Chains A and B, each alone.
Chain A
Amino acid sequence: MSTAPLPEIETELSKLPSAVLEAYQEASGAISTAFGEEELALWAREGIAIGTQTVRSWESAVEYYRVGPQVARFLSFPSFMQWARCGTYLAQDSPTLAVAFFKASATIVPNLRPQYIPRWAGLGRSLYKGTWKSSTLAAKFFEVSPDLVRNLPFWDVEVFASLIEAMSYKSYDVAGECLVLGRDVLPAMGREREAFLSMSRALIDNSWREVKTCLELVPRALQQVDDSQTGRFLKLGERLAKTGLRDTSRFLADGTQALGRVPQGSQGYILDLSETLLAASPDSVPHFLRSLNDVLGRITINQLDTWFRHGLELLKENPESGIAFFKVESNTSVSMLDTLSSSLELDRVKGIIKLYCSALSGSSIEVLDTQELVRKNIGWIDEDSASTDGTKVFLPPVVDHYPSKQDNFAWFKVVSTHQVGHLEFGSFDYDFQKPSGLFDDRRLQLEEEVLARRSAPMLADPQEMEPGPGQSLTDIGRFLNLFENRRLAFDIFTVLEDCRLDFRINVEYPGIRRAAKRVQDEALSNRPNITEMALQEALVELLIHMSLEQFTDLPVPVEYEEVAVVLARVLHQLRTAAATVEDTAEATLRAYEIITRVPNETQTEDQWEPEDLEEPGDFSEEEYEDLLERLQANMDASAEGGEGDPYDSPDPVDYRGDFKPEMVQLLTMLQSDQGMDGEGEPISKEMLEQMLQESAELELDAEQGDITNSMSMFAQNLMKEAGTPPPNSEPGQGYGPLLHDDDQGGELEAREPKTYAYDEWDFRAGDYKPRWCIVKEKNVEEGDLTFYNDSLRNYMALSNHIKRQFELIMPESFRKIYRLIDGEDIDLNAAIEAWADLRMQVPPDDKIYWHRNRARRDVAVVFLLDMSASTAEAIDEGRQVVDDRDAPDDPVEYMVWLRRRREGLVRRNYKRIIDLEKESTSLLIQALESIGDTYGIYGFSGYGRENVEFYVIKDIAEGFGDKIKRRIDKITPLHATRMGAAIRHAITKLENQDATTKILFLISDGRPQDRGYSREGVEKEYAVHDTHMALLEAKRQDIVPFCLTVDKAGHDYLKSMCGDMGYEVLGDIWALPERLPMLYRKLTI
């Protein structure tokens, strides 16, 4: 095409410096392919316009022509002209600007949408303020903009440009430097860029110099912060900047460093705190973050909250001291950290203490937080004192008595040893009839007397009518009923029993003597002053002092010196390893008789005298009788003087906690009662309530009216705790006609396809109930693939490890095969035999080689997953055990109950047992596929015997594929667990398999239970027996059954359920994904 249609243009151009014309001519050839003639003319003319703007604008024109062809390739003609026009305007202002604009255009146009070109030009233009420096800056902007535009969204470029502009008012140099820094730094940022820019923006007004430092710091700094948190962090910076924080860069550096060091996943929490702090006092935020590292070096992230809150309070009261607090420059702060850092949370040592207690007591002990006991609302109300209910030891959630963790742990140990001591040394085994070894038995005699006295008509006042001892439910109750003042008797009993225990523990466990001594001394130092108390109380307090091993320098009322001595003798009598709880009872009886014969009056200062009671001499019954008589005489003499003040209980000794023998005996009784299969008279709720009202163990501050209510509530809760059915669901009430399906009714018929009838073992009858259960086989619905894939990804490392382990099985299965005609080497035994045969002239066997042969792995396995409702339980959610036993009986109610329970778990973001089961299954499948064993995976649940659901996740004959992966997603907690029937059905799956090793692997989360299968009392046994029988049936079919349970209480019943078959109780449910494949591996080698 012709290149010279426009000679007049060339003439025009020739008026400009020759470089322009040259550039035009050079470009016109290339550009003519893109534009039509008219367009070319317009293009050329624009160049002239540019060139003629100012004296030096010809330079811009040269550049315009030069880049024209390149730009034209990316722009349509209108856009092109728009671009050119932008250049023209720029050239008007400053040719340098236009030159830079055009130069940058060649590289920027491919990345910039045409409609943004004018805005882009405008950005550059806005930086130009008519000065030389500003033009350099603007030119620099155009220079770096290709990089910016290529890597950032255009609006970020705009924001950045405006930031630079704002800076340019302060300093062109710094703005220029930031521009270049920005080019390098900004592209690397992700979502946080926007936040960063707005933070920088906020800096301009007060501390614009910070922007540059921030830009320098930010790439490295932000690496320390989780991606998800950077935005929030920068936002925080922005808000701080807005409130006038000057050294934002320092904040950036310190803050990110601090965040980088906090435990994983808690950055969000720290930012929460920072934001809270920001609202209260922005100044303190940087200090908080700066000291965070040190603080977290001393306390855990969980404890941080307490420290932080304290600081926040201070801050509100007095900003100065608040800031000092967060700087860790105040005493309060330091001492608080000391306390916190040495304090010990029960959660951290719970496992150890649990095992420790179990070891000591010989029975399975649960260790729980005292709060849980209070929550149960069965009569314990003090959150701070340790206690035990016979099977559980309750300890306070945190100990911070001492400045070191070790000492605090020692405290836990002393306290739990004391609590377990109640169990180990039999505080709760009190038997009214059992004779005391150290005292003469007076209890029975006293009981008779009391009974006689109470039945005597002279005690007419019905208010004072107390129930006879015979009516008491427990032995302890019976004992305490002997006394008119139950409260006093119980207090004495507690002190003496604790004294006995402490002494015994001291003997049995010399290792904790020192720690115990310290705890005792401390308790002693906190005791109230005896001399200020009324006499009866003072004497009890005296006993407490002695029980805490203080025998010297005890204040004793002069008038009653002998009383004190005899009491000391009684107490000393118990300080022997042979003392039993019955001895304590006898001692209590004596101490009570003495103390009640002393008037409860306060004495003046001078009526006390210090005395040593370390060796008060031996107790003698005669002296005691003698003393009693004299006291009685005394009392009778001064009868008109009244009885003094009413008796008030002493403060409890902290470390000994709450001692409630009556409650414990009651609970134990309730529990064993329900196991007795209804024999004997069950304890009614009314009886319970009455007992509770009498009990001295309950302290209720509530008004009288409330007491009756709380008693009734306690009673109800107590029964629930013990597992007795609440009274309103007594058998015979509320049962619909459906009931007959359970115990009555007869054989069931499997009519529908894919349903099967199975027998069930009735251990009471010692025979099977024929065709008792209907198993319905169903496929699990198909869900999403992601669950399977995610679990593999989440457990990447483990999954690889498992796979490797499984692959290792292969070489293990290489076996030497002897006596072959041909092989790797001579089989020495066979060769010698052959040789011997030859010598003996017997034809030798020619099979004298051995060969390593790959033994074919021949394993078929069926996995049975428990899909019962209890698998919906959150793991480690404070052990809120969902107890299936309180499920209603009525099927309709049951369903409602079930639905309610499941709905509660819909909005969950925690892991459930079933989730771990599913994850483990995914891992296992992967492993199984790698070794090629035949396997089937099934789930089971159901409700009632006519409806045992058997879910196929992967049928044994089915191949593995996406279908299976999808099904895994849909495994959900359903109803109950009738294990026996499910196992029997699983057996049929394996029966037909032709493998040498067959395994039935049962994974469950608790005991088998179902309606009419596992209810209280014997029924519990029924389920276990049936399951056991089903497992035996498997064994008879040459199937190796194995049970894995994640129920920590599993040892209780698994032993009887599995007998000599293999089982394992997984203590740590989180270990399931790891343990399951390993167990399988072990089972099959």
Chain B
Amino acid sequence: MVETDVPEFKEYAIEEFLVRSEPYYRSVGDEENLFTAAYHQHIPVLLKGPTGCGKTRFVEYMAWKLGRPLTVIRDEQSPQGAPRQEMREGEVRVPLVTIACHEDLTASDLVGRYLLDAEGTRWIDGPMTRAVKNGAILYLDEVVEARKDTTVLIHPLTDHRRILPVEKTGSIIEADDRFLLCISYNPGYQSALKDLKHSTRQRFISIEFNYPPREIEAEIVERESGCTAEDADSLAKLGEKIRNLQEHGLQEGASTRLLIYAGRLISEGIPARRACQVAIVWTLTDEPELQRSIEEVVSSIFE
């Protein structure tokens, strides 16, 4: 753990980031149980779902939940500022290593590489290696974006072997017992070219996420944005209506995240219609007709 002098941010070594305070997560189905079961059974998890529906939040929540001391009472919240990273009694260390995948993410970015150093070269573990060694939940976000070779890398990690061969150092790392690989994937409805290979896909159990039903979503929006229950309800209604347009030229429906953003703007005193316009309408589409249609829905729902 590295503690900095500057109070504005906190810096952790990647494998030491523990989700300490309970992230807000409202579970809709049995996903918590499924994930917990998979975790105990060492089955990698694939989270499917549209953007902003809570996949990442779910993983954070699970990392927190799985690491939470089973016997200890709710923590008394450390005085603000320094995160308390020292272990508490009964707590299991379940660090969360999140890697956002992108097109140029190579295998060595994940595994590690040699770096030059005064005395010559020094091996630096990549985030995946660290996660494997430390028994973290490794969360590869938007895994389809990564290069094909990286997806192959995870194969030995995700079957019964649970090993990470590090070619360059000529070693094999057996994963810590607590290690779990979790990837997320947004099937999209039109992804022509990006798709997970079946050999990869079939190493995971898949939990499908979708936007929560209206009542739950309203609850989430209210909780996360701090707007009034009435506004939250309207926002959830709006989200539902906009998602109806998904088959009419809208690539993706309004995510819960966007609804929350709109809710936050509203709770800051921005007029509701305007908040929805900037947070939702303009974000979702550039097509004038579609924008206008969504705005009409907004102006019907909000006064």
Which A residues are closer than 8 A to B by beta carbons? 351-356, 358-364, 413, 417, 508-513, 829, 832-833, 835-836, 839, 1040, 1042, 1051, 1055, 1060-1064, 1067, 1082-1083
CB distance from A797 to the nearest CB of B (A): 21
Q: Report chain A residues within 8 Å CB of B187.
A: 1060
Q: Are B292 and A833 neighbours in the complex by a CB distance under 8 Å?
A: no
B299 lies within 8 A of chain A by Cβ = yes
Complex Cα–Cα for A417 and B190 (A): 31
CB distance from A775 to the nearest CB of B (A): 26
Q: Are A829 and B108 neighbours in the complex by a CB distance under 8 Å?
A: yes
Complex Cα–Cα for A623 and B298 (A): 44
CB distance from A802 to the nearest CB of B (A): 19
Q: Report chain B residues within 8 Å CB of A359.
A: 241-242, 244-245, 293-294, 297
Tell me whether A1062 and B300 are in contact in the complex, defined as CB-CB below 8 angstroms, given that A356-B293, A362-B244, A839-B120 are known contacts: no
Q: Are A358 and B248 neighbours in the complex by a CB distance under 8 Å?
A: yes
CB distance from A1002 to the nearest CB of B (A): 13
Scan residues 226-282 of chain B and give those whose CB is less than 8 A from a CB of chain A: 237, 240-242, 244-245, 247-249, 273
Complex Cα–Cα for A832 and B121 (A): 7
B114 lies within 8 A of chain A by Cβ = yes
B216 lies within 8 A of chain A by Cβ = no
B204 lies within 8 A of chain A by Cβ = no
| Stretch in contact with the other chain, from B22-30, B77-85, B148-156, B191-199 | B191-199
> B244 is contacted by which of A358, A1060, A1061 (Cβ under 8 Å)?
A358
Q: How large is the interface on B (under 10, 10 to 19, 20 to 34, 35 or more residues)?
A: 35 or more
Complex Cα–Cα for A537 and B171 (A): 92
> A356 is contacted by which of B168, B192, B296 (Cβ under 8 Å)?
B296
Complex Cα–Cα for A1075 and B113 (A): 44
CB distance from B24 to the nearest CB of A (A): 28
Q: Report chain B residues within 8 Å CB of A1061.
A: 192
Q: Could you list 8 further interchain pairs (A-B, Cβ under 8 angstroms) beyond the known A352-B292, A360-B300, A1062-B191?
A: A362-B240, A417-B300, A508-B237, A511-B302, A829-B108, A829-B113, A836-B114, A1060-B195
Q: Report chain A residues within 8 Å CB of B293.
A: 351-356, 359
Complex Cα–Cα for A836 and B117 (A): 11
Q: Are B113 and A360 neighbours in the complex by a CB distance under 8 Å?
A: no
Closest 10 CB pairs of A and B: A1062-B192, A355-B293, A509-B300, A836-B121, A362-B244, A359-B241, A1051-B247, A511-B300, A510-B303, A356-B296
CB distance from A1040 to the nearest CB of B (A): 7
B290 lies within 8 A of chain A by Cβ = yes
Closest to A412 in B: B296
Q: Report chain B residues within 8 Å CB of A839.
A: 120-121
Complex Cα–Cα for A512 and B289 (A): 20
B116 lies within 8 A of chain A by Cβ = yes
Complex Cα–Cα for A839 and B302 (A): 70
Tell me whether A355 and B302 are in contact in the complex, defined as CB-CB below 8 angstroms, given that A364-B248, A839-B120, A1083-B193 are known contacts: no
CB distance from B210 to the nearest CB of A (A): 15
Q: Are B303 and A513 neighbours in the complex by a CB distance under 8 Å?
A: yes
Complex Cα–Cα for A362 and B243 (A): 8
Q: Are A511 and B292 neighbours in the complex by a CB distance under 8 Å?
A: no
CB distance from B138 to the nearest CB of A (A): 23
Q: Report chain A residues within 8 Å CB of B193.
A: 1040, 1062, 1083
B166 lies within 8 A of chain A by Cβ = no
Q: Report chain B residues within 8 Å CB of A508.
A: 237, 301
B118 lies within 8 A of chain A by Cβ = no
B115 lies within 8 A of chain A by Cβ = yes
- Enumerate 24 A-B pairs (CB-CB under 8 Å) in ascending A order: A352-B289, A352-B292, A355-B248, A355-B290, A356-B296, A356-B300, A358-B245, A359-B244, A359-B245, A359-B294, A360-B300, A362-B240, A362-B244, A413-B296, A508-B237, A510-B301, A511-B302, A829-B113, A832-B121, A835-B116, A835-B121, A1061-B192, A1063-B192, A1082-B192
Q: Are B249 and A832 neighbours in the complex by a CB distance under 8 Å?
A: no
Complex Cα–Cα for A58 and B237 (A): 105
CB distance from A527 to the nearest CB of B (A): 26
Q: Are B289 and A351 neighbours in the complex by a CB distance under 8 Å?
A: yes
Q: Report chain A residues within 8 Å CB of B244.
A: 358-363
CB distance from B20 to the nearest CB of A (A): 37
Q: Are B300 and A512 neighbours in the complex by a CB distance under 8 Å?
A: yes
Q: Report chain A residues within 8 Å CB of B247.
A: 364, 1051
Q: Report chain A residues within 8 Å CB of B116.
A: 832, 835
Which B residues are closer than 8 A to A by beta carbons? 108, 113-116, 120-121, 168, 187, 189-193, 195, 237, 240-242, 244-245, 247-249, 273, 289-290, 292-294, 296-303
Complex Cα–Cα for A1082 and B192 (A): 10
Q: Are A1064 and B190 neighbours in the complex by a CB distance under 8 Å?
A: yes
Complex Cα–Cα for A839 and B193 (A): 44
CB distance from B81 to the nearest CB of A (A): 40
Q: Report chain A residues within 8 Å CB of B189.
A: 1055
Q: Are A360 and B190 neighbours in the complex by a CB distance under 8 Å?
A: no
Complex Cα–Cα for A836 and B292 (A): 61
CB distance from B228 to the nearest CB of A (A): 13
Q: Report chain B residues within 8 Å CB of A836.
A: 114, 120-121
Q: Report chain A residues within 8 Å CB of B292.
A: 352
CB distance from A338 to the nearest CB of B (A): 25
Closest to A413 in B: B296
Closest to A414 in B: B300
Q: Report chain B residues within 8 Å CB of A363.
A: 244
Complex Cα–Cα for A518 and B192 (A): 49
Tell me whether A832 and B115 are in contact in the complex, defined as CB-CB below 8 angstroms, given that A359-B245, A1062-B193 are known contacts: yes
Complex Cα–Cα for A1063 and B188 (A): 12
Closest to A835 in B: B121
Q: Report chain B residues within 8 Å CB of A413.
A: 296, 300
CB distance from A1035 to the nearest CB of B (A): 10
Closest to A833 in B: B114
Complex Cα–Cα for A836 and B273 (A): 62
Closest to B273 in A: A511
Complex Cα–Cα for A991 and B236 (A): 50
CB distance from A309 to the nearest CB of B (A): 31
Tell me whether A360 and B303 are in contact in the complex, defined as CB-CB below 8 angstroms, given that A355-B248, A829-B113, A1060-B195 are known contacts: no
Q: Report chain B residues within 8 Å CB of A1040.
A: 192-193
Q: Report chain B residues within 8 Å CB of A358.
A: 244-245, 248
Complex Cα–Cα for A839 and B114 (A): 13
Q: Are A512 and B299 neighbours in the complex by a CB distance under 8 Å?
A: yes
Q: Are B241 and A360 neighbours in the complex by a CB distance under 8 Å?
A: yes
Closest to A832 in B: B114
Q: Report chain B residues within 8 Å CB of A510.
A: 301-303
CB distance from B122 to the nearest CB of A (A): 9
CB distance from A578 to the nearest CB of B (A): 15
Complex Cα–Cα for A1063 and B192 (A): 7
Complex Cα–Cα for A356 and B245 (A): 8
CB distance from B283 to the nearest CB of A (A): 16
Q: Report chain B residues within 8 Å CB of A351.
A: 289, 293
Complex Cα–Cα for A1042 and B193 (A): 10
Complex Cα–Cα for A1040 and B248 (A): 25
Complex Cα–Cα for A361 and B240 (A): 10
Q: Report chain A residues within 8 Å CB of B303.
A: 510-511, 513
Q: Report chain B residues within 8 Å CB of A1051.
A: 247-248
CB distance from A1049 to the nearest CB of B (A): 10
> B296 is contacted by which of A352, A833, A1063, A1067 (Cβ under 8 Å)?
A352
Closest to B194 in A: A1062
Q: Report chain B residues within 8 Å CB of A352.
A: 289, 292-293, 296
Q: Are A360 and B297 neighbours in the complex by a CB distance under 8 Å?
A: yes
Complex Cα–Cα for A364 and B247 (A): 8
Complex Cα–Cα for A1060 and B198 (A): 13
Complex Cα–Cα for A1067 and B299 (A): 25
Q: Report chain B residues within 8 Å CB of A835.
A: 116, 120-121
Q: Are A511 and B289 neighbours in the complex by a CB distance under 8 Å?
A: no
Q: Report chain B residues within 8 Å CB of A833.
A: 114, 168
Closest to A510 in B: B303
Complex Cα–Cα for A1060 and B193 (A): 10
Complex Cα–Cα for A355 and B241 (A): 10
Complex Cα–Cα for A351 and B248 (A): 11
Closest to A1051 in B: B247
